[in-house]
Amino acid sequence: MEKKAYNVMQNPLTQYRQDGYPKQLQEYPGVQDDMDPTPDCGEETYVGTGRLKGRKALITGGDSGIGRAAAIAFAREGADIAVNYMESEQKDAESLAELLKAEGKKVYLIPGDLSDEEFNKKMIKEANEKLGGLDILALIAGKQVSQTDIEEVTTEQITNTFKINVFSLFWTVKAALPLLPPGASIITCSSIQAYQPSPNLLDYAASKSAIIAFTRALAKQIASKGIRVNSVAPGPIWTPLQISGGQEQEKLPKFGQNTPLKRSGQPVELAGAFVFLASQEASYVTAEVYGVTGGNHLG
């Protein structure tokens, strides 16, 4: 299919792949470059218009999927970026850095494991030093493990899901708050799973509800500092999370087709929401959850 700029008017039903996906399994957290087909993160289509000029952004989970789409968009909107990911995802992180550096953007790579409290602190310190400040936190990293029977959900799995999806938000924000100026924006990544939880995602869906409560409470707590906090809640999006243990294999051939738009989303379709919430255009938007779901609305 011919790729038009993401912001050119076209039919959303046919804008991206309508077919389902071949079954495929990778080890967590997966490498997007090895996926069939490769998710569209806007590499060839996202066009920036200076909406984040001079901004300094840290993006967790920025190597692939939704985080990569946010990273590409932030950089093309004029921000310098630092990107966190796991060491096993070096291939995706390097291809991102290569793409953006060739366009003259500043990109710093900070690999490390967010389930480790000390690493979260280190990551913030390093991002702040490398970028010469910090004013956007896009906390997008997440873990999803599909289990159809609660008997199979081990304490280790629950702990990991909550450490990565929820605890790391506390650790990261605690370390970053003294550094963030008025006007800064924090964006978390929740999910439609917080509103319409699937039977195979007990711990994940619970963690995504926790993210929404965290986001709203934090927004109220730090509004007095002039810092906004919002969440993006995606629906079914084609990313490595879906093929590295996050989804049942049998669901891949029809993945996303039960939405009113009858297809899964591509990561680039989330980019605009992240840019809006990060930018000054959202100056009166805080404690909000922004759904990008293909029509299966939140609530």
Residues in contact with Mg ion by the rule CB under 5 A? 63-64, 89, 240
Site string for ligand NAD, 17-36 (x = CB under 6 A): ------------xx------
Nearer to ligand NAD, 38 or 280 (CB): 38
Residue 190's CB is within 10 A of a number of other CB atoms, namely: 27
67 interacts with, out of ligand NAD, Mg ion, none, CB within 5 to 8 A per kind: ligand NAD
**Cα(214)–Cα(197) distance, rounded to whole angstroms?**
18
CB closer to ligand NAD, 45 vs 196:
196
Q: Which of 234, 238, 236 is nearest to 39 (CA)?
A: 238
Contact flag: residue 164 with ligand NAD (CB under 6 A): yes
Pick from 120, 122, 128, 62: nearest CA to 96: 62
89 binding ligand NAD? (CB under 6 A): yes
CA distance 193 to 171: 23
Min dist CB 181 to ligand NAD, Å, is 26
| Structure token pair of residue 81 | 């970026």
The site partner of 77 among ligand NAD, Mg ion, none (C-beta below 5 to 8 Å per kind) is: none
- Check if the beta carbon of residue 16 is closer than 8 Å to that of residue 3: no
Q: Are 64 and 39 contacting, i.e. CB atoms less than 8 angstroms apart?
A: yes
In this structure, the number of other CB atoms found within 10 A of the CB of residue 98 comes to 10
Measured from the CB atom, the residue of 64 and 161 that comes closer to Mg ion is: 64
161 binds ligand NAD (CB under 6 A): no
Stretch that binds ligand NAD, among 9-17, 58-66, 170-178, 271-279 (CB under 6 A): 58-66
Q: Does 97 bind ligand NAD (CB under 6 A)?
A: no
290 is catalytic: no
Which residue of 42, 48, 236, 294 would you call a contact of ligand NAD, by CB under 6 A? 236
Number of other residues whose CB lies within 10 A of the CB of residue 54: 10
Nearer CB in complex with ligand NAD: 63/80: 63
Phi, psi of 67, rounded to the nearest 5 degrees: -65, -40
Catalytic residue ranges = 204
